[in-house]
Amino acid sequence: MKYVVIVLALLYGGDLVAQFRSDSLKHSPSTFDERLFWELNHSADTSRFLDNTMLFASRSLLPVAIATPLAEVGIGYATADDDYFFDACGLAAGTLGTIVFQELIVKPIVQRPRPFKSLEGVRWVDSSAHGYSFPSSHAAISFGLATALSLRYPTPWVIVPAYAYAFIVSISRPYLGVHYPSDILCGAIIG
C-alpha cells in the first residue's frame, strides 16, 4: 500500500487532498497526471472511429462482467463440474464487492472530480459518466476479471486476451475524458 501512496505522490506532486478536491475552478493541466491525461484524451481529436471504438470498449464491461460468470455456470452445467459453479460465484461476488467498495466507500471519501469538471478543454466523449473519478471502477472490474480468469485458467490463450481487454477498457477511460491515469492505476491495483 505504501507504494501506491508513493506513486500517487509522484504523479501529483504537492498536496494530494487539495488537488483531489480542487473542483471549484477549471484549470489547465499542471501535474504529470493531468498532462498524461491530456495526451491520452487528445490523442485522436478528429477520429470518430476511435471515439466509437473506445465507447464500445468502455460500455462492453458490464455485459462482459455479467456474461463471464454466467458462461462459467453454463460450462459447469454442461460438463457436470461443480468447480465452475463455485468459480462463477467467486467472480460475481468479487465484481459486486469491487463495485460496492469503490462506489459506496472509496469514491465518496476521496471525492475527486472527474477531469471534464476540473480541466479546461477536455474532450468529453462519454457523457454517461457521473459521480466521482477516483478510483476507476472500470479498471478495477476489468483487471479483477482478468486476474481471476488467469489464475483459474493459467494458459496464454486466457491470460493474454483477458489482460489485453482489461488494458483497452482502462485506457478508454482517459480517452473518453472521464478518468485520470492515476484513477486507472489504482483501480487496476484494486482489481
**What is the pLDDT tens value at each position of the chain, 191 positions in all?**
444 444 444 444 444 444 444 444 566 656 777 777 878 877 777 778 888 888 899 999 999 999 988 888 888 888 888 888 888 888 888 888 888 888 888 888 888 888 888 777 777 776 677 788 888 989 999 999 999 889 888 999 999 999 999 999 999 988 888 888 889 999 999 88
CA-CA distance, 31 to 9, in Å (whole number)?
Answer: 11
Yes or no: say if 83 and 176 are a contact pair by the CB < 8 Å rule: no
pTM (two decimals): 0.77
Give the number of other CB atoms < 10 A from CB of residue 42: 13
Helix axis angle for 181-190 and 2-12, nearest 10°, is 170
pLDDT recorded at residue 160: 96
Cα-flanking dihedrals φ and ψ of residue 15, to 5°?
Answer: -80, 110
Give me the count of residues in the chain: 191
- Which alpha helices (H) appear in 60-110, and where do they start and end? 61-79, 82-100, 107-110
